[in-house]
Amino acid sequence: MRFTACALLALTTVTPAFAQSRDSSAAPAVLTLSEALSIARRNNPTYMQSRTARNRAGAVLRSAYGSLLPDVSTGFGTTFREGGQELVAGEARGASTNILTSSGSIDVTAQYNASTFMAPKRERANLEAAEADVTTADATLRLAVSTQYLNVLQAQARAVLQDTLLANTLAQLEQSRARQAVGAATTLDVLRSEVAVGRQQVAVVRERNNVEIEKVRLLQQLGVQLPMRIQLTTEFPVSEPTLVLDDLLNTARRTNPALQAARARESSAGLTLRQAQSLYTPTLSLRTGISGLTSRVTDIDVAIAGAQASAAQGKASCLSSDSLRVGAGLSPRGCNNFELTPDRIAQIRSDNEKYPFSLAQSPKSFSVSVSLPLFDGLQREQRVQEASAFRNDARYRVRAQELLTTADVTAAHLNLATAYRTVRLQEQNSEAARQALALSQERFRVGADTYVALVQARTDFEQAETDRINAVYEFHRAYATLESAVGRPLR
């Protein structure tokens, strides 16, 4: 009979399943837990922020290593000076034509002290802390996605339970109508069965809606807009945990990412203190470079004429001096060197065309200096005190995180054991309620039990099965919480 088939359906074990979607034309997309975690690691915005912080820490570390290299800078410039004379201490100075001047230089400077060599170590510790933060964010993301994945499966299991109960109430309605037709039941029994069917239909609608809401929240954790018709396929068997608390605590002390991050920041704080103390050490400064200069007059003929006039004046002065030397009986020096030959004029014109990039190199220079600040208004002392306090705070945070990790792992281990025992007890309760419902249905079928007793048996079964479903997924969530506290997967 149809009633017998529906009753057997109500007695079958309820397993997590995928509730029907509003759009049944397309096949649902399969999504395992590992695939969900992979999608979330690529798209969850909160997790991506932690990765950005690690990138910034890596850039700071590279900058700290770069500070060990000298600074190299280059410059190029040009100036214009208008031709004309000016009096300086009663002497006329200046050029008779406009002058364009260009100059360039390459400077190499470096400064080294104890703080310079400590900076890479400190930034390396900061990078390790940032990487530990990424691991912490990954553990947090894994817990959030796993929990929400379980929430969807739990909502689907409750929806399947409500579908099963709806089939049961529909079978009871048909049986009540059949009994009314033969005079074994009253119209009141039929009306009660119809009310029960209506209430169960409302429960089915609500549970299916809850499934869709939990899916939306899962998609929020993944950070993407996947199709709403997704089928979760990862299975979570319930098996008795054999984890030893001492082993879990030892593992957590080594792998808990939050604890590792706190330790890395303690190391960074210690290096920051040493770096502050290094302000009392001297600083070595090194500098060298090359530079060049060239110029060009705008009217070369005027410049050549000035050079010719200066050469003629020099030759006249030389000839006058030679005449005096001859009068004194000395040999003349010779004044041919003062003549401005055509080759010299051509050289002047060629040199004038070297502007702006053919620079004449200036003499090289190299400087070394050592400085030691004697008093800076107690700023170094303040930095040392602040760094010392920061290092102490970091030590306290490590100790607090160790205590928190121990408490979290211990509590999660106890909750897991309790959750497993609860699952087994709820399975016994559900089995007893299922047998009671089957007995009540059979008694109602032969007229030995009332409809009210049947409704009560169905209510008891619904509550017991709901408690069993909740206990199963609380067990899996307790497992996920323990894995998050330890810092690595445990199954």
Tens digits of residue pLDDT in 218-258: 999 999 876 667 889 888 999 999 999 999 999 999 989 89
Region of poorest pLDDT, from 39-48, 207-216, 294-303, 401-410: 294-303
- Helices 379-445 and 114-181 meet at what angle, rounded to 10? 10
Percent of the chain with pLDDT over 70: 88
26 vs 380: which has the higher pLDDT: 380
**DSSP reduced 3-state for 289:** strand
Contact 130, 113 (CB under 8 A): no
Under the banding of pLDDT at 50, 70 and 90, the label for residue 21 is: very low
Under the banding of pLDDT at 50, 70 and 90, the label for residue 95 is: low
**DSSP reduced 3-state for 78:** strand
Residue owning tokens 């502050």: 276
Say how far apart CA 482 and CA 251 lie, in whole Å.
12
Say how far apart CA 232 and CA 32 lie, in whole Å.
6
Contacts of 190 (CB under 8 A, 6+ apart): 173, 176, 177, 180
Say what the pLDDT of residue 480 is.
93
Tokens of 448: 């030995």
Asked if pLDDT for residue 455 goes beyond 60, the answer is: yes
Q: Which one of 202-216, 345-359, 431-445 scores highest in mean pLDDT?
A: 202-216
Under the banding of pLDDT at 50, 70 and 90, the label for residue 96 is: low
Say what the pLDDT of residue 297 is.
79
Region of poorest pLDDT, from 8-22, 42-56, 162-176: 8-22
The whole-angstrom distance between residue 317's C-alpha and the CA centroid of its chain comes to 82
Tokens of 204: 């089915």
Percent of the chain with pLDDT over 90: 39
Asked if pLDDT for residue 156 goes beyond 90, the answer is: yes
Contacts of 367 (CB under 8 A, 6+ apart): 285, 286, 287, 288
Asked if pLDDT for residue 373 goes beyond 60, the answer is: yes
- Provide mean pLDDT across the span 59-67: 91
On whether the 2-97+100-282+374-486 domain is CATH 1.20.1600.10, my answer is yes
Say what the pLDDT of residue 186 is.
78
Every domain of the chain and the residues it spans: 2-97+100-282+374-486, 286-371
25 vs 293: which has the higher pLDDT: 293
Say what the pLDDT of residue 13 is.
35
Say what the pLDDT of residue 92 is.
56
Under the banding of pLDDT at 50, 70 and 90, the label for residue 93 is: low
Contact 223, 39 (CB under 8 A): yes
**Length of the chain in terms of residues written:** 491
Q: Are strands 29-31 and 230-232 parallel, antiparallel or unpaired?
A: parallel
3-state helix, strand, coil in the chain (%, to 5): 65, 10, 20
Report in angstroms the alpha-carbon separations of 312 from 12, 308, 332.
125, 6, 18
- pLDDT tens figures, 112-153: 888 888 889 888 988 988 888 898 899 999 999 999 999 999
Number of Cβ within a 10 Å radius of residue 176:
24
> Angle at Cα 291 formed by Cα 287 and Cα 292, nearest 5°?
170
Contact 229, 29 (CB under 8 A): yes
Contact 326, 332 (CB under 8 A): yes
The DSSP line for 144-201 is: HHHHHHHHHHHHHHHHHHHHHHHHHHHHHHHHHHHHHHTTSS-HHHHHHHHHHHHHHH
Contact 454, 173 (CB under 8 A): no
